[in-house]
Amino acid sequence: MSNPAQDVKDPNKKSTGVPIGNNEKRIIRGHGFGTRTEEYQPLGQFAQTGKFGRMFPLLKSLVPPAPSLEALGAAMIDTATVDEAGRPVDHPDGDNPTLPAAYTYFGQFLDHDITLDTTSLQEILVDPLAVMNFRTPMLDLDSLYGSGPVANPFLYQRGNNDRFLIGTTSSLAPGGDPSVPVSLPHDLPRNSEGFALIGDPRNDENLAVAQLHLTFLKFHNKVVEGLLNKTIPRESPLRKSTFEEARDLVIWHYQWIVLHDFLPRILDPAQLNDVLVNGRRFYNVNNGQPFIPVEFSVAAYRFGHSMVREAYNYNRVFGFGPGSVTPATLGLLFQFSGLSTRNPQGAVPIPSDWIIDWRRFLEIDPQIQPEFSRGINPQIIPQLHDIPGLGSLAVRNLKRGSSMGLPPGQSIARFMGFTPLSPDQIATGADGAVAKAHDLHLETPLWYYILKEAEIQGSSTRLGEVGSRIVAEVLIGLLEADSSSFLARKPEWVPTLGPAGSGIFTLADLVKFVDEINPIGDIA
C-alpha cells in the first residue's frame, strides 16, 4: 500500500533497486542520504540492502500519452466523501464494511518496513534494476528497531536500552479540550526540533501511522517487562539477551498479523490459499536475494490509496459524534506530525487531545462500531487529488507506473492464466468512461486495472485475482526468504501473546496487549 503519506509529502521522493544476483556494492549519496549504514537507512538483522526488480520482465511495457493518464487520474475521484460545500461527511456509502480503518495505516506501516523508494517521478522511463531500495526487503521491523541499541542508541532509554524511548504529549493545554491532562506518555519521542526519534521518519508523516508506530514501541516495552517479571516465558535465556528475545517475539507476532490477519482481509481467499498451499509461481527469489518487484510497489500495493478517508471519527474530541469539536480530517492528521510543512506553533509534541481512541479504528469494543476504510476501487478521495505542491496522487501513481514501464493489467492477467477484465468491464462508471475515451479500456495501466479488478471481482472489499496474486506472492515470498522469520524457521509456531490458548493474534489483540486503548476516556 505504498503509503499515501510518502506521496503526499514530497514530490521529489525517489525509487530504488539493483539487478538480482548482481553482487556489485554501491555507495549511494545525494538526495538527502549518506551511506547505507547511517541512521536513516538501518540495516536489518540478517538482510543486506534490498533491491527493486521486475516480476514480469518479458512482458511489454505500456506507456500511454501523459494527457490520457492525467484525464483518467482526474476521473478517479470519490465524491461520496464530501457534501455540496466540500465538507467531509461520515456515512457508509462507499465504505468497506469488512475492513476497519486501522488497516489502512497498518498497510502503510508495513510498506515502510520493506521499501524506501527515493527516485523522483520523471516523464522518462526509469529502469527499476538501476534503482536502490534503502530498506531491507524483509518483514523484520527495521523501521522500528533501526540497527539496535548499540548502533542507534537515540531510539532507546539511557541505562535501560532494552526498552524504547517513549515521548510525551505537549505541555500546553489542548485546544480542543483543555480539560485533558498535559505531558502524557502518548507521543513519539522527539528531538528539540520536533522530529521523531524513530527508525523510519516516514512513520511520523501522519498522526494515524505515528500512533500505530508508538503502539508497536509500547508493545516491545511490554514484552520486555513480561520477560523480566517472568509472566512471559523465555525460550533462549542463555543465547539471547532480553532485548533480543523481546525483539524476536515482537517481529514474529507482527509477521503473524500480516499473514493471518491483514492478508486474509484484503486478498482473494482462493489466491492466498493457493500461494500458501501450492507455493509461488511468479515471484522468484534468485540466489536467496529477495527484491521488491515494481509491479508490487508501484501498482498492486498502492491499492491502499483508495482506502483513505476524508475524515475520521478519531476520538471523543475530534470526530463526528456528539461533543466533538471537528472531524479529524486527513489534513489535520498530516498537520499534527513532525514532518508537516504546515505545522502551527505547538503542533508537536502532539496535544493530549489528539491521542487516538483505538476502539474507533479496530474491532475492540462490541458496543462501538469502528470507522471503516473506504472501498478498494478506483475512487480516490478529493484531498488526495489536491495535494499542495503535488496535485493529484492518482495522476502521480499512473505516471509512476508509466515511467517504470509496467505492462498493462491484461497482459499480466493472461500471463498468470486468468481471464482478463473485458473492455466493457473496464469502461464501467465515470472513470471507466474516461478510460474508454482514451482507449485505456483495451490496454489498461496496471494500478488502475488492479483497482478496477477489486471493484468488479472483489465488490470493493478485497483485491481481485491479479492484485491478490502479486501481493500474496511478494509478501509470503519475503517471509519465506527470511531465515529469521517464523515461516522459515518454525512454521508450526503459533502466537503466545494473544487470548490464552487461542493461537490467534490480530492487530486488535496487539492493541489490547499494550492496554492503552482509549487513554483520554469518553467524558470530558
Q: What is the pTM of this model?
A: 0.88
Q: How far apart are CA 242 and CA 220, in angstroms?
A: 11
Rounded to 5, what percent of the chain is helix, strand, coil?
40, 5, 50
Mean residue pLDDT of the chain comes to 87
CA angle 409, 373, 194 (to 5 degrees): 105
Q: How far apart are CA 403 and CA 14, in angstroms?
A: 12
First-to-last CA distance in the chain?
36
- Strand-pair category, 311-312 with 95-100: unpaired
- Using an 8 Å Cβ cutoff, are 482 and 140 in contact? yes
Q: How far apart are CA 59 and CA 126, in angstroms?
A: 16
pLDDT of 48 > 60? The answer is no
Q: How far apart are CA 438 and CA 389, in angstroms?
A: 27
Give me the percent of the chain exceeding a pLDDT of 70: 85
53 or 303: which carries more pLDDT confidence?
A: 303
213: cell is 508506530
Which segments of 205-269 are extended strands (E)?
none
Q: Which amino acid would we find at residue 299?
A: A
Does residue 349 have a cis bond before it (omega within 30 degrees)?
A: yes
- Strand-pair category, 292-293 with 160-164: unpaired
What is residue 311's three-state secondary structure? strand
pLDDT of 306 > 70? The answer is yes
* Reported confidence tier of residue 237, pLDDT bands at 50, 70, 90: confident
22: cell is 548482481
Q: How far apart are CA 244 and CA 405, in angstroms?
A: 42
pLDDT of 133 > 70? The answer is no
- Strand-pair category, 52-53 with 311-312: unpaired
Ranking 14-23, 75-84, 99-108 by mean pLDDT, the lowest is 14-23
What is residue 507's three-state secondary structure? helix
Name every residue whose Cβ is closer than 8 Å to that of residue 275 and which is 6 or more positions away in sequence: 469, 472, 473, 476
Q: What is the pLDDT of residues 379-401, one digit of tens each?
A: 999 999 998 888 999 999 999 99
Which residue is listed with cell 539496535? 148
Q: Residue 320 has what pLDDT? A: 92
Q: Residue 437 has what pLDDT? A: 98
- Strand-pair category, 372-374 with 160-164: unpaired
318: cell is 475530534
Torsion-angle region of 339 (φ positive above 0: left; ψ -120 to 50: alpha; else: beta): alpha
Neighbours of 125 (CB within 10 A): 12
pLDDT of 313 > 70? The answer is yes
pLDDT of 279 > 80? The answer is yes
Q: How far apart are CA 273 and CA 270, in angstroms?
A: 5
Beta partners for 164? 156
Q: Which amino acid would we find at residue 211?
A: Q
Distances (CA, A) of 79 to 15, 74, 84: 31, 12, 9
Q: Residue 90 has what pLDDT? A: 81
pLDDT of 29 > 80? The answer is no
String of DSSP letters for 372-422: EEEPSSS-B-GGGGSBTTTB-HHHHHHHHHHHTTPPPHHHHHHHHTPPPPP
* Reported confidence tier of residue 40, pLDDT bands at 50, 70, 90: very low
Question: Which alpha helices (DSSP H) does 115-174 contain, by range?
Answer: 142-145, 148-151
* Reported confidence tier of residue 50, pLDDT bands at 50, 70, 90: low
pLDDT of 229 > 50? The answer is yes
